[in-house]
Amino acid sequence: MWLLNFYSKLEKNLSKLEKILVTLMMMIMFVSVFIQVLSRFFNLPIPDTSDISLVSFAMMTFFGTGLLVYTKGHILIEITSLIKSQKIVFIFDVLSNIAMLIIGAILLNIGFALLMYFFENREATMALRIPLAVPFTSLVIGLVLMLVHTIGNLMVLFNKYKTAN
């Protein structure tokens, strides 16, 4: 029980950080797009800020992945609402979370390999030369957060099942 309480507090604190990061990236994206519109409309000599909006959009997406798993805002299969047996619903929930762990681990492996590639080759965006390692770091962090929250979901599922029986 203490482990579940500790993990729940950890997840809650991580979700607060995720919300801040997602909101910050959304604000950066909004401001950079606004600057682009003003620059083009008034023909201002402002450098192209499209790279900033693209990188912030990628970071918002990747950090948001973990947050969606925590809030259970990701795509769910609602067939469990039609199943009467709580044991079958439990098994279905456990299997879907295990599948998410497996998929997340595979994507994390691919994402980490991409991150190492971009660190080694120092590739950057076209206009502002923002290192591509920045969005790929957020990919890896987002996948780790997704895995952390999926493990938390499994812990809650097993705790509910144990207390119900």
79-124 per-position pLDDT tens digit = 767 788 889 889 989 999 999 999 999 999 999 999 999 999 999 9
The predicted-structure confidence for 22-70, as pLDDT tens digits, reads as follows 999 999 999 999 999 999 999 988 888 889 999 999 999 999 999 999 9
Judge contact between 150 and 100, C-beta under 8 A.
yes
Which pLDDT belongs to residue 76? 65
**Average pLDDT, stretch 143-153?**
97
pTM recorded for the entire structure: 0.89
- Which position has the higher pLDDT, 143 or 78? 143
Which pLDDT belongs to residue 86? 86
Q: Among 47-51, 136-140, 150-154, where is mean pLDDT lowest?
A: 47-51
Judge contact between 67 and 19, C-beta under 8 A.
yes
Task: Give the integer Cα–Cα distance in Å for 154 and 159.
Answer: 8
Which pLDDT belongs to residue 73? 80
